[in-house]
Amino acid sequence: MRHSRCLEAKMTVYCAYIVGLHDRTIGVVQLDCIDDESAIKSARRLVDSQDVELWQTDRPVARFDARSKQMCKK
């Protein structure tokens, strides 16, 4: 149990915002990841027909464009 608490403390909370028309947020998914690269991999899986913006608190991390399948790191 002690080992589990230690792992949880190292995770960082990210938010993946699902972006609709006119860049309005239509949903949000909280991601607990070890670092930006791990969060980017997780957020990429959420891209379907809508764009996704990945943030860590007030810091933009990346934006995924659903149409072009491109990612832009912030």
Q: Which has the closest alpha carbon to 30: 7, 51, 12, 4?
A: 12
Work out the pLDDT band at 46, boundaries 50, 70, 90. Answer: very high
Six-digit token string for 53: 């913006």
16: buried, middle or exposed (CB in 10 Å: 19+, 13-18, 0-12)? buried
pLDDT in tens, 5-41: 555 558 899 999 999 999 999 999 999 999 999 999 9
Average pLDDT of span 45-61: 96
For 9, the 3-state DSSP assignment is helix
Instruction: Supply the pLDDT for residue 3.
Output: 52
Work out the pLDDT band at 61, boundaries 50, 70, 90. Answer: very high
Q: Give every CB contact of residue 51 below 8 A, 6+ residues apart in sequence.
A: 18, 19, 63, 64, 65, 66
Query: What is the reported pTM?
Result: 0.84
